[in-house]
Amino acid sequence: MWSDNETRNDYLNHSEVAEMICEMISDDTLLPLSVGVYGGWGVGKSSILQLVDKQLARDGDTIVIEFDAWLYQGFDEAKAALMTVISQALIAEAPESLQEQAKGLFRRVNKLRLLGLGAEAGMAALGLPTFGFVSRAITSGGDALSGEGDEEDLKAIQEGAAAASNKMKGLIDPKEVQSPPEEIAAFKAEFSSLLKDLDRRLVVFVDNLDRCLPKTAIENLEAMRLFLSLPNTAFVVAADVDMVRHAVASHFAGASKKHVDDYLDKLIQFPVAVPRLGLQEVQAFLCMLVLSRSSTVDAEALENARTYLLETIQKSWSGSEEFSLHRLVEIVSANADLTTQIENVVRIAPTLAQSKAVLGNPRIIKRMMNTVRMRHGLAIRRKMNLDEAVIAKISLFERCTSERAFGDLLKLVNASPKGKVKGLASNSLEKIASSTSGFPESWHDHKDFIAEWGQLSPDLSNTDLRAAVYLARETLPLQIKNAALSPDTIKAISALLKIATRTSKAAEVAIDLIPADERPAAMSELINSLRQDGDWSRKRADVNGAVVLATKHQETRDELVRFLSSIQQPAAWLKRLTETLQDGSL
């Protein structure tokens, strides 16, 4: 099995993107700097950040701070959280001679934090009683953090600080509270002075911004704006640009598309798109997944294989270094079993690179491969005579078609003598591309994929597929990817994907099965299933379950709205549905 986390091991030639970002960061004439690493879910944004960190670590004059915007959502005000994380990191990095200066900056942040969050919130965080006597400072404190305040705000803050002084034991001295612009100016001056004395660049990675609610996403962007006026500072933001633009549009109601685009473009100076994977990259990725989990391949051979595969990618434009299966097998001294595994993944690489349901997405590929491994392991334990290549081919069909299409495949297997479906012969399936007559209706929308799938080895027409069907039903379906979900939630998700109408009582019953703390994750899984079919030109029933969930439980609505809003050139029905969800009139 393969971990779903980001990695510092480059299997996709993302190091070239990381090197380009590092070159910009290392150019002092470009600082302060903001770089956007843009791409959809699972394409490798976080891994690119790790590769940048790995390269910057070789340079001792850079401090790298990782900030997960999603982690602080609901627990902290975004501006305060970012300032606190940065100031704490600077204390950890400062030598003994600069410790007091770094701690002074942290104290400055704490003062802004207490004022900006409202003294009550700050005192509560410190475990002190509040009794409601400083609530008047809350709104004014919020203005202080953004640098937008006046003398009236200052008076409110000072009154709040004075009321709290007996309880705070000197943490806030009313005499020390300056006007909001003065507080921000003092912070910027202390921050700049510390960085100058450290003689190091500060690089902040902001990740998972696109997972945040619109308000939190905008707060994080505004917090970055404060730092981007300071020297020796760079921000690298990993995000799905469509999701972030949706957050901007939602937060600034009524803003035109131009203003939405301009907001992000003005903040991010250098946008870098994560390259979409082509055949060479998918092929290399699959091979490295197989090799990295082989007990017969040592570390040196694995690194030699990685170097060879990356060279084939880098030189693919010229045709001077074409991929050779024989050469790869030779590099790792593969035995017969490993050679077969490599052959199998090389065979399915073109389909994974081209399928609309996968589009070479590394995370989807990795999760599909994990499912194949899991099912193959179960087959071995239950003494099923089932080749891993057969499981892979069935899983590919499951991943790249719809739930109905896969269900009809299973029905064909169950209806066929000894589980052998003659209609799955390659010469039979290639006909679907020109004529859908005689094939299940649910296959019509996937005819091009199925025609190509039928040509992949092995030919399944003479294989007993009953064991494969059993494994597909016994294990977690590919459409539901979150292994942490409870059985009730998984059952509910499967039911919601089958809801025919939004007034269905079955939808209410299914939603009631989902524990409150799993509702957002359930919505994520429903959206992952919706992503598998990129055709939104027609009305789709599979969205109904997600709409009912979003309507009944508001905490799940924003994620569905963000997804639907990201669909390019939406049909009229989809546009109406999205607008109705946004204004809450459903």
- Contact status, residue 131 vs residue 124, Cβ threshold 8 Å: no
For residue 131, what are its two tokens? 């009794």
Does one domain contain both 305 and 283? yes
DSSP assignment of 119-147: HHHHHHHTT---TTTTTTHHHHHHHHHHT
473 — pLDDT class (breaks 50, 70, 90): low
Residue 119 lies in a domain: no
> What is the DSSP pairing of strand 201-207 with strand 233-239?
parallel
Does one domain contain both 348 and 497? no
Lowest pLDDT segment from 35-39, 145-149, 467-471, 539-543: 145-149
Lowest pLDDT segment from 10-24, 47-61, 127-141, 332-346: 127-141
Alpha-carbon span 206 to 195, nearest angstrom: 20
For residue 391, give the amino acid letter.
I
Averaged pLDDT for residues 90-100: 91
Does one domain contain both 450 and 306? yes
Lowest pLDDT segment from 80-84, 148-152, 474-478, 498-502: 474-478
Does one domain contain both 332 and 389? yes
217 — pLDDT class (breaks 50, 70, 90): confident
Q: Find the length of the chain.
A: 586
Residue 168 lies in a domain: no
User: For 177-206, b where at least 16 C-beta lie within 10 A, e where not — what string?
Assistant: bbbbeebbeebeebbeebbeebebbbbbbb
Residue 382 lies in a domain: yes
pLDDT in tens, 101-115: 999 888 888 777 666
Averaged pLDDT for residues 431-455: 90
Residue 139 lies in a domain: no
**Which of 22-36, 154-168, 569-583 has maximum average pLDDT?**
22-36
166 pLDDT higher than 70:
no
Averaged pLDDT for residues 72-97: 82
Averaged pLDDT for residues 532-545: 82
Q: Give the pLDDT of residue 363.
A: 87
Does one domain contain both 292 and 438? yes
Segments of 416-548 assigned E as strands:
none
- Contact status, residue 532 vs residue 568, Cβ threshold 8 Å: no
Residue 377 lies in a domain: yes
Averaged pLDDT for residues 87-100: 91
- Domain tally for the chain? 3
Among candidate residues 273, 290, 311, the one where a domain is terminated: 273
Residue, of 577 and 255, whose pLDDT is higher: 577
pLDDT in tens, 552-563: 998 888 889 888
Q: Give the pLDDT of residue 476.
A: 41
The parent domain of residue 310 ranges over 279-474
Does one domain contain both 316 and 449? yes
CA 541 to chain centre: 26
Does one domain contain both 324 and 461? yes
134 pLDDT higher than 70:
no
For residue 399, what are its two tokens? 């991943």
Alpha-carbon span 168 to 129, nearest angstrom: 10
| DSSP assigned state of 229 | T
Alpha-carbon span 210 to 426, nearest angstrom: 43
Task: Identify the burial level of 218 via C-beta atoms within 10 angstroms of its C-beta, where 0-12 means exposed, 13-18 middle and 19 or more buried.
Answer: buried
- Cα radius of gyration rounded to whole Å, the chain: 28
Residue 433 lies in a domain: yes
DSSP assignment of 174-186: GGG---HHHHHHH
Q: Give the pLDDT of residue 157.
A: 46
Averaged pLDDT for residues 41-66: 89
- Contact status, residue 194 vs residue 90, Cβ threshold 8 Å: yes
Nearest to 390, CA basis, from 438, 435, 436, 340: 340
What is the model's pTM?
Answer: 0.66
Does one domain contain both 235 and 368? no
pLDDT in tens, 18-39: 999 999 999 989 989 999 999 8
Does one domain contain both 388 and 437? yes
388 — pLDDT class (breaks 50, 70, 90): confident
Alpha-carbon span 398 to 409, nearest angstrom: 9
203 pLDDT higher than 90:
yes
What are φ and ψ of residue 294, in 5° steps? -95, 130
**H-helix or E-strand spanning residue 187:** helix 180-198
Task: Identify the burial level of 316 via C-beta atoms within 10 angstroms of its C-beta, where 0-12 means exposed, 13-18 middle and 19 or more buried.
Answer: middle
Q: Give the pLDDT of residue 474.
A: 55
Averaged pLDDT for residues 537-542: 85
Does one domain contain both 442 and 318? yes
Alpha-carbon span 35 to 235, nearest angstrom: 6
User: Could you tell me what percent of the chain has a pLDDT over 90?
Assistant: 25
Alpha-carbon span 40 to 507, nearest angstrom: 29
| DSSP assigned state of 276 | P
Q: Give the pLDDT of residue 354.
A: 79
Q: Give the pLDDT of residue 254.
A: 81
For residue 310, what are its two tokens? 């990356």
pLDDT in tens, 509-538: 899 989 887 888 888 888 877 876 767 888
The angle subtended at Cα 230 by Cα 227 and Cα 232, nearest 5°, is 110
Alpha-carbon span 38 to 265, nearest angstrom: 12
| DSSP assigned state of 62 | E
Across the chain, mean pLDDT equals 81
Residue, of 83 and 2, whose pLDDT is higher: 83
Does one domain contain both 296 and 324? yes
Does one domain contain both 459 and 502? no
Averaged pLDDT for residues 415-426: 90
Residue 149 lies in a domain: no
572 pLDDT higher than 60:
yes
Among candidate residues 443, 474, 505, the one where a domain is terminated: 474
Residue 388 lies in a domain: yes
Among candidate residues 273, 303, 332, the one where a domain is terminated: 273
Averaged pLDDT for residues 564-575: 84
